[in-house]
Structure 1
Amino acid sequence: MKRSLSSFARLACATLAVSALAALNGCSSPTPLFLSDGRATTLVQCPARSDSCAQQATASCGGAFDVVRQSTENGTLSLIYACRAK
């Protein structure tokens, strides 16, 4: 009886661990959306009154990028951009 309880506890812990991993996977960054020309888009967020979003996009693209959409809410700028083709 003691052995089966131990096995049950291990199974329960393993199931819990797998469930936790699945839940964390849902919190990871979303799959990039693509523009009609095939370019992937990226979302960055930064303080609304700074240029760090543009700096992040420039660094990520290695140069020029196109703004797909931007919005400001609660002092945070959300910028969706796509790198320009080289």
Structure 2
Amino acid sequence: MKRNLSSFAHPVCATLAVGALAVLSGCSSSAPLFLSDGRATTLVQCPVGSDSCSQQASASCGGAYDVVRQSSASGTLSLIYACRAK
């Protein structure tokens, strides 16, 4: 019994498409993490030595925010913050 390649192409393409969709859905942004008091956290990154991260946090929160965690590596400052309750 002879089968041509086209009879296998459709199931293979369908399998690859489903697999690609699964992989791409894993790359989507994740839900924000929340503090125990229910406030959402946000991560911003900026060059070490600049005040860009604090400016971004302040602008996003309309002023006051709490630093949850701050770290630096390879010249980049990572700031996780939560806006203060109003």
Q: Specify the TM-score bucket, using the shorter chain as the normaliser.
A: 0.7 to 0.9
Structure 1 residue ranges without an equivalent (≥5): none
Q: When the two structures are aligned, how many residues end up with a matched partner?
A: 84
* 1:7 CA displacement: 5.1
Superposition map of 1:45-84 within 5 A: 45-84=45-84
* 1:66 CA displacement: 0.9
Task: Report what 2:85 is aligned to.
Answer: 85
Q: How far apart, CA to CA, are the structure 2 residues paired with 1:7 and 1:61?
A: 57
RMSD of the alignment, in Å? 1.9
Give 3-state SS (helix, strand or coil) of 2:20's partner.
Answer: helix
The more displaced of 12-21 and 71-80 is 12-21
Q: What TM-score, normalized to structure 1?
A: 0.77
Q: What do residues 33-60 of structure 1 show as CA deviations (whole Å, max 9, x unaligned)? A: 1111001111111111211112222222
Q: How far apart, CA to CA, are the structure 2 residues paired with 1:14 and 1:51?
A: 49
Task: Report what 2:33 is aligned to.
Answer: 33
Counting helix residues as a fraction of each chain, which structure ranks higher? 1
